[in-house]
Amino acid sequence: MFLRLVPLLVLAGCATTPAAPKNPRLMTVNEPPRAAEAPPSKPAHAPTLIRNGTVLTAAGQVFVNGHVVLIDGRIAEVGEGAGSPPAGALIIDAKGGFITPGLIDTHSHVGVYAWPGTIGSEDGNEMTNPITAHVRSESAFWPQDPAIWHALSGGVTTIQILPGSGNVIGGRSFVAHLKPEGSARAMRYPGAPEGLKMACGENPKRYYGGLRREPMSRMGVVATLRSSLQRALEYRRGQQKWQRDLELWRAKHTAEEGKAPPPTAKPDGSPDDPPEGPARDFGLETLVEVLEGKLLVHHHCYRADEMHQVLDVAREYGYQVRSFHHAVEAYKLADRLAAENVSVSTWVDWWGFKMESLDGVPQNVALVQRAGGRPILHSDSAVEMRRLNQEAAKARAAGRRFGLEASDDQVLRWVTANPAWALGIEADVGTLEKGKRADVVVWNGNPFSVYSLAQQVLVDGSVVYDRAAHRVPISDFELGLVDEKELP
């Protein structure tokens, strides 16, 4: 199956060949690979002026009759009035609608559980061991998943692709920028840190309990997590010892200026090779990055008692949980989550489908907000992802019934600025402010109305979705499934 409206892209890799070291004996051995990076951005396109709409910045300002200017993939200006178009600019008339930042979903399996949903496209859970920290969702991501296009139709421009929750530690996540590209690496959000998916509760205990192996209880889940972190701690100590030994070896074998070169053998005649480091273990290296704060931890956890348990383990080992996902009982420990700077990625009314989700309340988001926390509306669904704006509206309505009010700008942060923080990209995206990335959505009405639709979606200042232009199926999978006239 191929996307019909997305051209095939020829991606040419480009790398600089490092110069050969002056002394081959001083080469570093057992070095971890460099962090994965997205390819360089493509050349800038024509500037764009979006005007004649209410601008919700998600940064505290609302411009009732405002405009946004985009230049070189960045926001150059946001303000009141029609604005002045730069030379050669594309002008988008919002026609009295609304202009917002692109929406961000912290919890998606798009591309790793791709449409159509067959066994052949199920690649999100490596359920062969309760600890699979070495796997990466990027390795299974299919950039031609039709669900990506539908996400754009709902105003979503950035998503975190997570492994599934069948394991205590499921693997690395990555953040995808939703613009047509031919590979997962090309869709990687530039500069976004990777995350690590962890899970507690019913999912891992149910699966491995069915196999009659650890973990088959919540005790086993926590014990498995703790023992894995302990192994990582000991692995790091071994790496640190090797680094110290290597530095001593280098100092010994580095000739001082003007002196004879260093010996090549020990006094007994045996080769004086550099010390050999511990055998590479990609899973333990991943967990070491957690301990060192280089990976953002995203923990699937429903119940308040289990979130307390996870926070206690994190304190023991000195790392931070970035976001609890699903977290339907977050309202029960909202004060602790706010105090420890842990965000909450949740739904409004997904509850009751299993025992650990029975005590969810639709006011969860509003109560976390009241405590000073960071509530986020996530999807965990390729269908619900297209309605994140409506989920935010539902969360506000539920809070209002408790007397907890929230402005449009504040509610917008639940699906823009707060998820940007959870993904470590808040300095670059999530609000409409000068200098930030030009991910922008033009809506035909207030985005928190069920009658409003995204009309144009821009990623890095380029229109990647236009509702008026894109009214045909974009994949062979969808041909004949719906009347083209009925497509949104």
Give the pLDDT confidence of 339-390 residue by residue, as tens digits: 999 999 999 999 999 999 999 999 999 999 999 999 999 999 999 999 999 9
The rounded percent of the chain whose pLDDT value lies above 90 is 75
pLDDT band at 159 (very low <50, low <70, confident <90, very high): very high
pLDDT computed for residue 410 by the predictor: 95
* Topology at the third CATH level for domain 103-255+276-429: TIM Barrel (3.20.20)
- Segments in 345-387 forming alpha helices (H): 364-370
Give the Cα separation of 22 and 19 in Å (integer): 9
- For residue 16, the model assigns a pLDDT of 35
pLDDT at 482: 57
| Tokens, residue 233 | 């701690």
Distance CA 22, CA 280 (A): 26
352-359 contact pairs (CB < 8 A, 24+)? 354/202, 355/202, 356/201, 356/202, 356/302, 356/303, 356/306, 357/302, 357/326, 357/328, 359/303, 359/328, 359/329
Indicate where the chain has its CATH 3.20.20.140 domain(s).
Answer: 103-255+276-429
254 three-class SS: coil
pLDDT of res. 36 = 54
pLDDT reported for residue 275:
84
For the chain, residues classed under CATH 2.30.40.10 are 42-101+431-488
Q: Nearest to residue 428, comparing CAs of 49, 181, 175?
A: 175
Residue 364: name the closest of 395, 324, 322, 401 by CA: 395
Average of per-residue pLDDT values in the chain: 87
Q: Comparing 241 with 278, which gets the higher pLDDT?
A: 241
CATH code of domain 42-101+431-488: 2.30.40.10
pLDDT band at 27 (very low <50, low <70, confident <90, very high): very low
Task: Give me the torsion for CA of 387, 424, 127, 146, rounded to 10°.
Answer: 40
In angstroms, the CA 149 to CA 466 distance is 11
Better-predicted residue by pLDDT, 275 or 446: 446
Burial of 467: CB neighbours in 10 Å, binned 0-12, 13-18, 19+: middle
| Residue 143 contacts residue 112 (beta carbons within 8 Å) | no
Binned at pLDDT 50, 70 and 90, residue 272 comes out as confident
Angle at 417 between CA 412 and CA 419, to 5 degrees: 105
Question: Among 52-56, 164-168, 240-244, 304-308, where is mean pLDDT lowest?
Answer: 240-244
Provide mean pLDDT across the span 140-155: 93
